[in-house]
Each structure stands twice: as structure tokens, then as C-alpha cells.
């Protein structure tokens, strides 16, 4: 059990939890900022979490769902008020609906996560602050302390499983819900480099090609929210051609971009694509959450080998970035 102390201060309206780990500081930090990792321990075993959004930067937001043993789903959200990797971050933790809209009728917890090195590994001190004694007591009665202890007891296993999240692993798709999929991969390059590679037409035409034997003759990038983009690919030496178009809905350089995506010439419903770039040990974690109209569309797209094509492109991108990192 990593939790070493729990202190309640009724005068300061705080609960402080200290946990010690044998893992290095950076490894522990990445476990909290990588959505693939934090969702394996944020909820207690009976209420596992799924992170639908996770922006590990100041000004970012996170949205998560906790699913109970009876299939009941409870949503929460974070507002990231500060972040200083790999030492501290602060969030406002709220109950919310599925879209991440906070529930004003339930308490807000201000949480400060402080990471430090120790002689045996690393330590995490989590301080939760409340607006009133009533709110503090309400959350304690809802099982906050017991749930936190159970959740943190799972972290050691995640920290030991480095291979599942290492930079050497290829792109992997994870089904988040009936309509959502997250494709994630660590790209060996900086956040700024990976962002530029997604926003520079000349660069995109070199790496975003999928399997060998294709070129990208059309690469019109949306640079401002509200702009449209258009990408088209053509098979070398043939007439086979396809493409996508859509609109840029959000852009927070160099960490987050949200677009719609529709296949040109087809009447399939457009998807919503949320790209997040996070600095991790070994490079940049690229996480793409795709929202489909329904499970049938989701499964049909996955069956096309989409993830394999993305992995081929990401390997090509890494090959372009490596000389600049040498």
C-alpha cells in the first residue's frame, strides 16, 4: 500500500495524503499525465475510470467516467489551473455530466499534486481543499478517503508495467465507449516538433501517407478556428484516390486541436477528432480521441486497418524527426 499518511485539518479545510513509491519521479509524473495510465488507477477497483479527455497543461481540461459494478456511470472533470512538470499540478475536481459540464449542486475540490524525489524513489503529496466544512464532510461521507486509498493501491502495478506505455510500442486503438476510440502512441520528438508536423503542409505531405505507395497531392491545412481543411491521397501510378475534409473547431498550440472529419464523396456521418500532445519521458504522447455517430460506424472504421496505417505514418514521422534530435 503506497499511502503512508492521511491528515485531516478541519481548521484549514484540507485533507492531505502522502504516498511513497519506488519508481523514479518522472515515471510517477507520467502515470498521472498519460490518460492510458491514470485511468488504470484513478478510480477504485469497483469503479474503474476512463479518461475521455486529458489535457495535462495549465488551462487544460480532463473529463473522466467511472463505471460501477451495476453498470452505473458517474462523470467528473478537472480544470487544470497550473502545471509545472514534473513537480506539481493543480486542478479543480468537479462532478459533471457526460460532456464534462460541472454539476453546480455538488462540491468542488481544489487538488494540489506535489511530486518529489526520495532516497528510495518518489513521493506524491496530494492536498484537497474544500470551501466549507459541510462540503468536506459530504465528500468524506461519500467515501472519498476509502476510494482514494483503494485507487492509489493500484499505482504500483501501473508503474511497474512500463512496457505497455514505452516509446517503442506502436500505435494502439482503445475503445472508450460505444462511439469513442482513442489511438495513442509516443512519438520520439518534442511537443513543438510533433505539433508543427501536423500543421505544416510540406511536412505532412512527407509523413502522413499511410502504407507505402501513396502520395498526398492535396494538403490544405486549417490554420484558424472556423477554417476548413482538405486532404487527398492518390495511389502511385494509378487513379485510385480518396480524401477527407472538415473544420477546425479548437486549436490550443502546441497541445490540442479539435476537428470534424468527413470522407469526400461519401455520405458517412462526420467524426469528431480530438488531438492532444503531452510531453512524456521518451518523447511526445500523441492521443487522438475519435467520436463516431454509432458503434457500427466505429467498428467498420476500425476493421479497415486504420490503426496499422496510422502506425506506418507515425514511424515515417519519427524517421523525419530523429536527425533533428541527434
- Do the beta carbons of residue 42 and residue 288 sit within 8 Å? no
Same domain for 320 and 227? yes
C-alpha cell at 157: 502495478
Give just the sign of the alpha carbon dihedral 204, 205, 207, 209. Answer: positive
C-alpha cell at 97: 455530466
Same domain for 241 and 153? no
How much is the pTM? 0.93
Number of structural domains the chain divides into: 2
Question: In whole angstroms, how far apart are CA 58 and each of 22, 70, 120, 188, 256?
Answer: 28, 35, 30, 23, 12
Same domain for 310 and 252? yes
CA-based nearest residue to 278, from 83, 55, 84 = 55
pLDDT for 151 equals 87
Is the confidence at residue 76, as pLDDT, over 90? yes
pLDDT for 323 equals 64
Instruction: Give, in degrees to the nearest 5, the angle at Cα 80 between 138 and 277.
Output: 135
Same domain for 292 and 224? yes
Residues 6+ apart with CB under 8 A from 72: none
What is the DSSP-derived secondary structure letter of residue 11?
T
CA-based nearest residue to 86, from 277, 252, 254, 280 = 280
Segment 43-57, tens digit of pLDDT: 999 999 999 999 999
- DSSP characters over 287-303: EEEEE-SSHHHHHHHHT
Q: Please give the mean pLDDT across all residues of the chain.
A: 94
In angstroms, rounded to a whole number, what is the distance separating the alpha carbons of residues 94 and 6? 21
Bond prior to 254 in cis (omega within 30° of 0): yes
Same domain for 270 and 182? yes
Same domain for 218 and 284? yes
Helix (H, G, I), strand (E, B) or coil at 214: strand
Same domain for 152 and 18? yes
Per the model's pLDDT, the better-predicted residue between 3 and 249 turns out to be: 249
In angstroms, rounded to a whole number, what is the distance separating the alpha carbons of residues 198 and 194? 7
Query: Averaged over 216-240, what is the pLDDT?
Result: 96
Same domain for 120 and 14? yes
Helix (H, G, I), strand (E, B) or coil at 168: coil
Task: Kindly report the backbone phi and psi dihedral angles of residue 302, in degrees, each rounded to the nearest multiple of 5, phi listed first.
Answer: -60, -35
Residues 6+ apart with CB under 8 A from 92: 78, 79, 81, 108, 109, 110, 111
Tell me which of 144, 163, 182 is where a domain ends: 163
Query: Averaged over 288-303, what is the pLDDT?
Result: 96
CA-based nearest residue to 53, from 73, 77, 88 = 77
Same domain for 86 and 150? yes
What is the DSSP-derived secondary structure letter of residue 307?
H
Per the model's pLDDT, the better-predicted residue between 2 and 77 turns out to be: 77
- Do the beta carbons of residue 61 and residue 100 sit within 8 Å? yes
C-alpha cell at 297: 460506424
Predicted confidence band at 303 (pLDDT cuts at 50, 70, 90)?
A: very high
Segment 121-168, tens digit of pLDDT: 999 999 999 999 999 999 889 888 888 888 888 999 999 987 788 888
Tell me which of 163, 189, 207 is where a domain ends: 163
In angstroms, rounded to a whole number, what is the distance separating the alpha carbons of residues 72 and 80? 27
Segment 197-210, tens digit of pLDDT: 999 999 999 999 98
Domain of 194, CATH number, reads 3.30.530.20
Percent of the chain with pLDDT over 90: 86
Same domain for 307 and 289? yes
Give just the sign of the alpha carbon dihedral 301, 302, 303, 309. Answer: positive
Same domain for 48 and 136? yes
In angstroms, rounded to a whole number, what is the distance separating the alpha carbons of residues 310 and 173? 10
Is the confidence at residue 239, as pLDDT, over 70? yes
Show the domain range for 310.
Answer: 172-325
- Alpha carbons within 13 angstroms on the beta-carbon side of residue 236 total 7
SS (H, E, C) 76-93: EEEEEEEEECCCEEEEEE
pLDDT for 2 equals 82
Is the confidence at residue 211, as pLDDT, over 80? yes
Helix (H, G, I), strand (E, B) or coil at 42: coil
Question: In whole angstroms, how far apart are CA 316 and each of 102, 231, 323?
Answer: 41, 18, 12
Out of 1-10, 50-59, 61-70, 228-237, which region has the weakest mean confidence (pLDDT)? 1-10
pLDDT for 324 equals 59
Angle separating helix axes 295-302 and 306-325, nearest 10 degrees: 60
Is the confidence at residue 326, as pLDDT, over 50? no
Same domain for 304 and 196? yes
Amino acid at each position: 500500500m503506497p499511502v503512508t499518511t492521511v491528515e485531516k485539518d478541519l481548521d484549514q479545510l484540507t485533507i492531505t495524503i502522502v504516498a511513497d513509491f519506488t519508481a523514479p519521479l518522472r515515471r510517477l509524473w507520467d502515470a498521472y499525465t498519460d490518460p492510458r495510465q491514470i485511468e488504470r488507477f484513478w478510480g477504485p477497483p469497483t469503479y474503474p475510470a476512463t479518461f475521455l479527455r486529458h489535457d495535462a497543461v495549465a488551462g487544460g481540461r480532463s473529463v473522466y467516467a467511472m463505471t460501477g459494478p451495476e453498470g452505473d456511470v458517474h462523470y467528473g472533470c478537472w480544470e487544470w489551473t497550473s502545471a509545472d512538470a514534473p513537480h506539481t499540478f493543480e486542478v479543480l475536481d468537479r462532478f459533471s455530466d457526460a460532456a464534462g459540464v460541472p454539476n453546480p449542486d455538488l462540491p468542488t475540490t481544489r487538488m494540489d499534486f506535489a511530486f518529489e524525489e526520495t532516497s528510495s524513489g518518489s513521493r506524491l503529496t496530494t492536498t484537497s481543499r474544500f470551501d466549507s466544512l459541510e462540503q468536506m464532510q459530504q465528500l468524506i461521507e461519500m467515501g472519498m478517503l476509502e476510494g482514494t486509498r483503494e485507487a492509489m493501491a493500484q499505482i504500483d502495478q501501473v508503474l511497474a508495467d512500463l512496457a505497455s506505455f514505452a516509446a517503442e510500442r506502436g500505435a494502439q486503438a482503445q475503445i472508450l465507449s460505444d462511439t469513442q476510440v482513442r489511438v495513442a502512441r509516443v512519438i520520439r520528438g518534442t511537443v513543438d516538433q510533433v505539433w508543427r508536423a501536423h500543421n505544416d503542409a510540406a511536412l505532412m505531405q512527407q509523413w502522413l501517407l499511410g502504407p507505402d505507395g501513396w502520395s498526398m497531392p492535396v494538403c490544405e491545412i486549417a490554420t484558424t478556428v472556423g477554417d476548413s481543411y482538405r486532404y487527398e491521397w492518390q495511389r502511385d501510378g494509378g487513379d485510385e484516390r480518396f480524401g477527407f475534409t472538415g473544420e477546425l473547431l479548437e486549436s490550443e498550440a502546441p497541445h490540442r486541436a479539435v476537428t470534424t472529419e468527413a470522407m469526400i464523396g461519401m455520405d458517412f456521418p462526420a467524426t469528431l477528432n480530438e488531438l492532444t500532445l503531452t510531453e512524456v519521458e521518451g518523447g511526445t504522447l500523441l492521443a487522438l480521441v475519435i467520436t463516431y455517430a454509432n458503434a457500427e460506424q466505429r467498428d467498420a472504421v476500425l476493421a479497415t486497418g486504420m490503426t496499422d496505417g496510422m502506425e506506418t505514418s507515425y514511424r515515417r514521422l519519427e524517421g523525419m524527426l530523429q536527425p533533428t534530435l541527434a
